[in-house]
Amino acid sequence: MLETAVAETSAAAETGAMAEMTLRICHLYPELMNIYGDRGNIIALRKRCEWRGLELEVTGLSIGREVDPDAYDFYFIGGGQDREQILVASDLVNMKGAALRQAAAEGAGFLGICGGYQLLGKYFLTYTGETLPGIGIFDAWTEGAEKRFIGNMVIEWEPAAGGKQTLVGFENHSGHTYLGPDMKPLGRVIKGFGNNGEDGTEGCCAGNAIGTYLHGSLLPKNPRLADEIILAALKRRYGMDSLPPLDDTLEERAHEAAVRRT
Amino acid sequence: MAAAVAACRLVTALSRGLGTGAGSNFPGRVSLRIEPRATRLLAGGLEHGCIVVSGTNGKTTTANMLAGILRQAGFAPVHNRAGANLISGITAALAQSSNLRGRPAGDIGLFEVDEATLPKALERLHPHLIIITNLFRDQLDRYGELESLGRKMSAGIARMSPDTELLLNADDPLVATLGEAGGLEKIYFYGIEYEGYGTMALEHASDSTHCRVCGALLDYSVVYFGHMGKYTCANCGAGRPIPDFAATRLEIEGMDRTEVAMQSPFGSLKLEVKIPGLYNVHNALAAASGALLLGIEAEAIHTGLAGYATAFGRAERIQAEGREIFLVLSKNPAGFNEVIRTIGSQGGDGLRLVIALNDLIADGRDVSWIWDVDFEDLAVRADRVVATGLRAPDMALRMKYAGMPADRIELERDLERALARGIAMTPTGETLFALTTYTATLALRRVMQRKGYVSHFWKEKADA
Ligand SMILES: [Zn+2]
């Protein structure tokens, strides 16, 4: 008890006003869309907030629960297997779609990985010819294909702060995603397949919403992207425009190791 | 046929001589090249036919336990070992134990089979008993999704003749339904009825928690590990089959001994399991149930199991420089979580660990799964961790985000130096835990052979 109190005080002293701040994350379908270590992204956001004395509240919302679009700063949805993705698609469109589109329009952050990314687009046309609706936060659509894109991937990414960086991860998807004319990809493929294996694009950005096929998990090994997501949320809610830096030596080494193994 | 068998033996002898491995898949590929029907022809010569064991986790342990029981009961099993569980490895095992006319030296085939290879293996081996242990996500980049894997296995099983015996794990919702597609008449279930060591919460790594009939979330009254447990569907009423072979009481005595009381259609019996972990109770239960179905007596089952020596690398205690190394193959989230739980139940804090993460094809190229393992539970008990292997930095990072202070995490890509570091940080007389993925286990064991901590594993097995 005493130890906890001391730790909190010193964290507050170091980070000043940040200790008063709370970010609220909505984790969509945590038990259904959780393939390929997706929860590592939540762990990364939680730790990177905690190390800065920021509080992070994570709320899991699954099938049958409505979304209050004002209640969260950031929404996360991971990938799932076919059966799970079908279950989720109908709930997402019918129960949560309107609220999520409103939240996105008002600048809330989104991160959709793999299957989650596909559901944030307009639709998924499966290889067997069925259409799975999406919620249309991205002007993007996905078509099922026979060939599965599997392997390590490196992309070139331009952070909001400027410059060029790499993002690393692992892709494993049979859906090929195509972006509408006004959509910006998350980055350009250096190694791997990306959205569709044809046009060199990977992922999609619209406002503060990001979709990508990169898992691995994505955020622990790409700490700059994790911090960009945290900062965007802090800016929107508290008007902050910078984050105290962290020691990312280990993160950078894991990033480099992943680039080397690609 | 003679040429195929001779070629296989020659290649095996060569690869042993060169120290490239214990003769696993390559010799089998050579004999199949010479005689494509080799598997079927050789298996057909076995007097008591074949038994096949498949599933994600525990198939090697279950098959090895059953092999021990079979030997105790006077059988001479032909058995593929050391994870050589594709068609080529099975063929190699058959060819290596056959004379040049293609007559096997053994009288019963006992084959662990890779889940994805099951339909092909069933077609060639025509087993009279099929045992399925469990299905977890394991290297999805290689196997495809669990759902479609289950469908393929089920279709392969459905093509078997109706009198084939099928033994399924009742505690795994997906495995329990694998016999539903076909016309098999003899489907049996094994499972743990005793609830004393289960928990109530599903772990993060749980894979198969939805009703196979209607898709609704399953209700678990108890969870043993992963998605193994007692489940029902509140929506449609489908549920866990009542096990024919049931563990009705467990006494876990530390890391070394678990006593199991078992009920079966053949009467009740006691089992003694000498390796740790609830998952090994499932393995022992599968082996004992299979043996009972073969008509083996309770006494031979008890003795065969109690004498079971751990399968190479799965969990081994090795003496090195006055320390004990506890080496465990840990290859996927469910397996890893159970290992972590087992280490935890030993009651130890201040643990010293070497964790080796490789990303070769046999390990799975994708290392994302480490984020599905509850390393948080290990981080609070660990004093020091050496992260090693080809993806050592990923492993080190995982431990950092699991809550270990960065200055207690050491990064050493080289396995030999990592082992030396692990031994150095472990006081004499104490235990160093080495948790290693598949190819890292092989590599680490080669290092330990060079150091003289262990002998070549095929020599040990030849004596077994
Ligand atoms: Zn149901």
**Mean pLDDT confidence for B53-67:** 92
**pLDDT of A142-167, one tens digit each?**
999 988 899 999 999 999 889 999 99
Kindly list the protein residues that place their beta carbon closer than 5 angstroms to ligand 1, a single-atom ion.
B 211, 213-214, 216, 233, 235-236, 238
Yes or no, beta carbons of B210 and A83 under 8 Å apart: yes
CB A212, CB A195: distance < 8 Å: no
Of B209, B394, B398, the CB nearest to A31: B209
DSSP string, B374-395: -HHHHHTTEEEEEEESTTHHHH
Better-predicted residue by pLDDT, B318 or A168:
A168
What pLDDT is attached to residue B421?
A: 97
pLDDT score of A216 more than 70: yes
Q: Do B209 and A215 touch (CB under 8 A)?
A: no
Query: Is A83 an interface residue toward B (CB < 8 Å)?
Result: yes
CB pairs under 8 A between A and B: 98
Chain B positions touching chain A (beta carbons under 8 Å): 137, 140-141, 144-148, 202, 204, 206, 209-210, 215, 217, 359, 365-372, 390-394, 396-398, 400-401, 406, 409, 411
Q: Residue A91: what are its φ and ψ, rounded to 5°?
A: -65, -40
Closest B-chain CA to A44: B401
The answer to whether position A14 is within a domain reads: no
Q: Is residue A4 domain-resident?
A: no
A15 is a domain residue: no
User: Residue B41 in contact with residue B94, Cβ under 8 Å?
Assistant: no
Q: Please report which confidence band the pLDDT of residue A5 belongs to, taking 50, 70 and 90 as the band edges.
A: very low
One-letter identity of residue B394: D
Higher pLDDT, B421 or A16: B421
Tens-place pLDDT, residues B258-314: 899 999 999 999 999 888 778 889 999 999 999 999 999 999 999 999 887 564 446
- Distance, in Å, from the CA atom of B442 to the CA atom of B157, rounded to the nearest integer, reads 32
Interchain CB distance below 8 Å, B394 and A257: yes
State the best of A128, A217, A251, A262 to mutate against chain B, taking most chain B CBs within 10 Å: A217
3-state secondary structure of A216: coil
B212 Cα: distance to centroid of ligand 1 (angstroms):
7
A67 falls within a domain: yes
> Residue A219 belongs to a domain with what CATH number?
3.40.50.880
Two tokens, residue B54? 């498949």
Distance (angstroms) between ligand 1 centre and the Cα of B206 equals 18
- By DSSP bridging, strand B382-388 and strand B351-356 are parallel
Cα distance from N-terminal residue to C-terminal residue, chain B: 29
Count other C-beta atoms under 10 Å from residue B308's C-beta: 24
* Residue A242 distance to chain B (closest CA, Å): 23
Q: How far is the CA of B116 from the centre of ligand 1 (A)?
A: 26
Residue B7 pLDDT: 61
In terms of residues, how long is chain B? 464
Domain membership of residue A13 (yes or no) is no
Instruction: Quick: pLDDT tens for A35-92.
Output: 888 999 999 999 999 999 999 999 999 888 999 999 999 999 999 887 788 889 999 9
Ligand 1 centroid to B236 CA: how many Å?
Answer: 4
The whole-angstrom separation of Cα B324 and Cα B318 is 6
Which pLDDT belongs to residue A147?
Answer: 85
Alpha carbon of B79 to those of B38, B92, B286, B372, B458: distances in Å?
Answer: 16, 10, 17, 34, 13
3-state DSSP assignment of residue B399: helix
- Is the CB of residue A12 less than 8 Å from the CB of residue A19? yes
Q: What is the pLDDT of residues B361-372, one digit of tens each?
A: 888 889 999 999
Say yes or no: A47 contacts chain B, CB-CB below 8 A.
yes
Among A54, A114, A109, smallest CA distance to A84 is for A114
Tokens representing residue B256 in the block: 């070394």
- B217/A31 Cβ within 8 A: yes
Per CB-CB distance under 8 Å, the chain A contacts of B137 are 35
More confident residue, B257 or A67: A67
Cβ within 8 Å of residue B31, ≥6 positions away = B4, B5, B7, B8, B38, B91, B92, B95
What percent of chain B shows pLDDT beyond 90? 52
Do the chains contact at A34 and B204, CB–CB below 8 Å? yes
More confident residue, A217 or B214: A217
Mean predicted lDDT score pLDDT of chain B:
85
**Backbone φ, ψ for residue B65 (5° rounding):** -60, -45
Paired tokens of A35:
């393939």
User: Given an 8 Å threshold on Cβ–Cβ distance, is A150 in contact with B365?
Assistant: yes
**Structural domain tally of chain A?**
1
Contacts of B18 (CB under 8 A, 6+ apart): none
Cite the active site residues of A: 114, 215
- Domain membership of residue A11 (yes or no) is no
Domains parsed from chain B with CATH numbers: 43-306 (3.40.1190.10), 316-463 (3.90.190.20)
Mean pLDDT over all residues of chain A? Answer: 90
pLDDT in tens, A180-193: 999 999 999 999 99
Contact B83, B25 (CB under 8 A): no
pLDDT-wise least confident of A63-72, A242-251, B92-101, B410-419: B92-101
pLDDT of residue B146: 82
Q: Residue B231 pLDDT more than 70?
A: yes
B119: confidence class by pLDDT, cuts 50, 70, 90: very high
Nearest to B97 by CA among B18, B33, B27, B19: B27
Q: Which residues span the domain enclosing A87?
A: 21-260
Q: Ligand 1 centroid vs B215 CA: distance in angstroms?
A: 6
Binned at pLDDT 50, 70 and 90, residue B34 comes out as low
- Nearest by CB: A37 against B202, B372, B411: B372
What is the pLDDT confidence band of residue A7, given thresholds at 50, 70 and 90? Answer: very low
Which residue of B147, B202, B406 is in closest CB contact with A83? Answer: B147
Residue found by looking up tokens 């045992």 in the block:
B131
Helix B392-401 vs helix A249-260: angle between axes, to the nearest 10 degrees? Answer: 150
Q: Is the pLDDT at B10 greater than 80, yes or no?
A: no
**pLDDT digits 0-9 by tens, B65-79:** 999 999 999 999 998
Report the 10 Å Cβ neighbour count for B450: 10
Q: How confident is the model at residue B98 (pLDDT cuts 50, 70, 90)?
A: confident
Q: How confident is the model at residue B17 (pLDDT cuts 50, 70, 90)?
A: very low
Residue B309 pLDDT: 59
